[in-house]
Amino acid sequence: MKLSSFLHPHLIKIKHKANSSENVIKELVKEICKEFSSNFEDEVIKIIMERERLGPTVEGGVSIPHARIEGFKDLIIAISIPEKPVSVNGEKVKIFFLILTSKTSSKLYLNTLSALAQLAENPKLMERVFLCKKSEDIIRVIEEADIKVKEELTVKDIMEEEFPIIFPESTLKETIDFFYKEGPLFALVVERENLIGEITLLEVVKKGIPHYAMNLANLRFLKTIEPLEDILQKEERIRIREVMSPVTVRLTPDSSIVEAMVKMVKEKRFFIPVVQREKAVGVVTLKDSITRILRA
C-alpha cells in the first residue's frame, strides 16, 4: 500500500501558525477528532503528550508524534508544516507527521513509521514537499515518490547505517583512545571493506586483567593498578587483529525483527552486525529494539 493513500487534504496544514510542539499536536488532533467526542480528543492528546515526555521522535528537522489508541480501528496521518520552524528538544522542526493508530495494529504502525522515515531522509523529495502551496500537491508529490508501507518490517528498517569501525592493524592504544573519545561500547573490525571481526570495550578491559586475577575468589587486596600495568606497557604494540573476536552472530538486511531480537536474547548480545556479501552494511543494537519497536 502506498503511503500517500493514508493522507487526506484536510489533515495537512501548510504555513501552520503554531509556535510549539504542543500547539501543533493539539490542533492536528482537534482536526482529526472533529467527528469524535470531545472526551476522545482529550484522551488522544493525553496519550500523545505522555509519549512525547518519554522522548519525542525528532531527527533532521522532522518530528513524528504518535499514539496507539485502545479500540481505535484506523490509521490516520496528519501533517503540519509550521510557518516558522518549531523548537523541539533543542532542534528546529520544519515538519510534523502525527500518527494515530490502534494498539493492536503494531505491524502497520511500525511500517508506517518506516515509510515516513524514508520520506524524511530524502532531501530532494522533502524540498519538493516544502515548495508545495496546497495540501493536494503534497499528496501528489508523495504519491509520485511511490513510497510503500510494507507488509513486513525487516532489520533494514531499524538498523543503524553509521557504526564504529576499527582496522585490524590499529593498535590497542588507538582503540582505547577511540572508545574513550567517541564513547562507543563496540566497534566492527573491517579490512578492505569486508567485516573480519569485532571488538567490545569489555574485551579491551578483559585484555588488561591477568588470568590470576580472574581466578581469585577475593579481589579486595588488588588495590593498585599493578594488574593493568602489563597492558599499559604493551598497548602500543598489540594489534587489534590479535585480540578481536570472530563474527559468530550476524544478520542480513532482510532478516526479520523477531530473528534479531531472539538472537540478541539467546546470545546475550547488545549489538549484531548486519552483513551483505561479507560487507558490514549496518548494526542492530538492543537500544534500537527498545526505541524503534517496543517504545516506537
Distance CA 56, CA 66 (A): 9
pLDDT of residue 217: 47
Residue the block writes with cell 531499524: 158
Domains in the chain: boundaries: 3-151, 165-294
Give 3's contacts (C-beta < 8 A, 6+ positions apart): 112, 115, 116, 119, 142, 147, 148, 149
Judge whether 3-151 and 165-294 match in fold.
no
**DSSP H or E segment with residue 151:** none
pLDDT of residue 226: 54
Distance CA 239, CA 241 (A): 5
Topology classification of domain 165-294 = CBS-domain (3.10.580)
Q: Note the pTM of the prediction, 2 decimals.
A: 0.60
Distance CA 82, CA 96 (A): 8
- Kindly give the parts of the chain with pLDDT less than 70: 104-106, 151, 207-232, 288-296
Task: Say how far residue 67 (Cα) sits from the centre of its chain.
Answer: 18
pLDDT of residue 163: 94
Which CATH class name applies to 3-151?
alpha beta
Which residue(s) pair with 88 in the sheet? 91
Query: Both ends of the chain: CA-CA distance in Å?
Result: 21
Cell of 111: 511500517
Alpha-helical segments (H) within the chain: 21-32, 38-54, 106-120, 123-131, 135-145, 155-158, 172-182, 201-207, 211-214, 229-234, 240-243, 257-267, 286-289
pLDDT of residue 230: 62
Dihedral of CA atoms 248, 249, 252, 254 in degrees, nearest 10, equals 150
- Taking the CA of residue 29 as centre, how many other CA atoms within 13 Å lie in the half-sphere pointing to its CB? 25
